[in-house]
């Protein structure tokens, strides 16, 4: 009996030892599993951080690329602005050159106008020389009148002063004052010898300020009322220019061709041909 109890006791102790051993072995394994799980979590977090860093670098690269494109576009804009400035300066230089040449021509015309009293004195002298001489002079004058259009009445001192005031305003760049001055001159002296010039420069004062519709009307009024004026070629040229600015391309081309036909060899014809070439080139570029 005692022997049997002893065997049972030994077996119980052995089982307890085995259980304890198993618990000891299981404990480190469970702790190891926990450590491995934590390491994986840390690795996962590190991977996420790296991904975020890569995303941030990508955004920085995109921003830098956009900045580079913006700088390129700014450079292109500055180049275009420079080209526009060059064209604007060239146009102004051409206008000033034309203005100065026309001014010199007008100065010569004014000198001729001032010489008119001398011609009148000569006529008076012819009349004083005797009836026959006076009759001969009158006959010659009537023959001239029959063959050509009578010369316009020379401008008076008041007319010349009013015209010069408006013209000087135009030269000085005060286009508003110039247009007012030429309008007033035309209203007060519609039949003056300077009226064609006043119509022309009135149109110029509007053309320079891009008021093309009113400029076109002024140039056409000159051509209608004074078709034989020295300003007619330039006025017809400016009609073509103005029509082009108003997007009336076909009408502009027809007008410029008309300048070539009516005034061959003139400066106006040369400018008309130059503008026609430019229009043709622009049309070809647009087609491509």
- Residue whose tokens read 């760049």: 173
Please indicate, yes or no, whether residues 193 and 250 belong to a single structural domain of this protein.
no
| Residue 282 pLDDT level (bands cut at 50, 70, 90) | confident
Question: Does residue 110 lie in a domain region?
Answer: no
Q: Choose among 190, 164, 167, 162: nearest CA to 179.
A: 167
Same domain, 168 and 222: yes
Instruction: State the pLDDT at residue 125.
Output: 34
Q: What angle do CA 160, 198, 106 make, to 5 degrees?
A: 60
| Count: domains in the chain | 2
Q: What is the pLDDT of residue 22?
A: 53
102: in domain? no
Q: In the structure, what pLDDT confidence band is assigned to residue 64 with cuts at 50, 70 and 90?
A: confident
For residue 188, pLDDT beyond 50: yes
User: Does residue 35 lie within any of the structural domains?
Assistant: no
Q: How many helices (H) and strands (E) does the chain have?
A: 10, 0
Q: Is 149 part of any domain?
A: no
Could you tell me the sign of the dihedral formed by the alpha carbons of 257, 262, 267, 268, in that order?
Answer: negative
> Is it the case that residue 273 has pLDDT exceeding 50?
yes
Q: Are 268 and 259 in contact (CB under 8 A)?
A: yes
Task: Indicate if 195 and 246 belong to the same structural domain.
Answer: no
Percent of the chain with pLDDT over 70: 59
pLDDT tens figures, 123-171: 333 333 333 333 333 333 333 333 344 455 678 899 999 999 999 999 9
Residues 193 and 212 in one domain: yes
Predicted confidence band of residue 240 (pLDDT cuts 50, 70, 90): very high
Q: Residue 76 is encoded by which pair of tokens?
A: 């292109």
Residue 225 shares a structural domain with residue 241: no
Task: Among 229, 247, 263, identify where a domain stops.
Answer: 229
Mean pLDDT of 100-126: 42
Q: Which residue has the tokens 């089982």?
A: 15
Among 75-79, 97-101, 108-112, name the most confident range. 75-79
CATH number at 264 reads 1.25.40.10
pLDDT bin (cut points 50, 70, 90) of residue 67 is confident
Q: Which of 25-39, 59-73, 175-189 has the highest mean pLDDT?
A: 175-189
- Domain assignment of residue 21, yes or no: no
Instruction: Note whether residue 287 is domain-resident.
Output: yes
Segment 54-67 mean pLDDT: 74
Q: What integer pLDDT is reported at residue 150 of this predicted model? A: 46
Measured between alpha carbons, how far is 95 from 230 in angstroms, rounded to an integer?
18
| Pair 179, 204 in one domain | yes
What is the pLDDT, as a whole number, of residue 128? Answer: 33
Domain of residue 180: give its range. 154-229
Q: How confident is the model at residue 284, as a pLDDT?
A: 83
- Same structural domain for residues 220 and 244? no
Of 12-26, 70-84, 99-113, 183-197, the poorest mean pLDDT is in 99-113
pLDDT score recorded for residue 186: 96
288 and 258 in a single domain? The answer is yes
- Answer with the one of 229, 252, 275 that is the final residue of a domain: 229
Residues 158 and 221 in one domain: yes
Considering the domain architecture, whether residues 281 and 259 belong to the same structural domain is answered as yes
Mean residue pLDDT of the chain comes to: 73
Residue 59 lies in a domain: no
Query: Is 263 in the same domain as 219?
Result: no
Boundary (domain end) residue, out of 190, 209, 229: 229
Query: Cα dihedral angle (91, 105, 267, 246), rounded to 10 degrees?
Result: 50
Same domain, 259 and 280: yes
The pTM score is 0.52
Q: Give the 3-state secondary structure of 1-38.
A: CHHHHHHHHHHHHHHHHHHHHHHHHHHHHHHHHHHHHH
């Amino acid at each position: 009996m005692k022997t049997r109890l002893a065997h049972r006791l030994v077996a119980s102790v052995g089982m307890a030892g085995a259980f304890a051993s198993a618990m000891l072995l299981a404990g480190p394994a469970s702790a190891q599993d926990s450590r491995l799980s934590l390491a994986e979590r840390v690795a996962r977090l590190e991977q996420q951080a790296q991904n975020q860093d890569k995303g941030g670098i990508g955004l920085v690269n995109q921003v830098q690329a956009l900045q580079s494109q913006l700088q390129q576009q700014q450079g292109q804009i500055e180049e275009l602005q420079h080209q526009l400035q060059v064209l604007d300066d060239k146009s102004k230089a051409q206008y000033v050159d034309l203005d100065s040449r026309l001014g010199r021509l007008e100065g010569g015309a004014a000198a001729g106008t001032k010489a008119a009293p001398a011609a009148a004195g000569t006529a008076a002298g012819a009349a004083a020389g005797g009836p026959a001489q006076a009759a001969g002079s009158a006959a010659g004058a009537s023959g001239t009148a029959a063959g050509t259009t009578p010369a316009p009445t020379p401008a008076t001192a008041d007319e010349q002063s009013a015209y010069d005031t408006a013209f000087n305003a135009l030269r000085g760049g005060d286009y508003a004052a110039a247009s007012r001055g030429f309008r007033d001159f035309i209203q007060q002296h519609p039949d003056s010898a300077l009226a064609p010039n006043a119509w022309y420069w009135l149109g110029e004062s509007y053309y320079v300020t891009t008021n093309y519709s009113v400029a076109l009307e002024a140039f056409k009024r000159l051509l209608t009322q004074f078709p034989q004026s020295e300003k007619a070629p330039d006025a017809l040229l400016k009609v073509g220019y103005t029509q082009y600015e108003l997007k009336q391309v076909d009408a502009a081309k027809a007008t410029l061709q008309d300048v070539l036909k009516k005034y061959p060899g003139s400066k106006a014809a040369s400018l008309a041909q130059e503008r026609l070439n430019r229009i043709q080139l622009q049309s070809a570029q647009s087609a491509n």
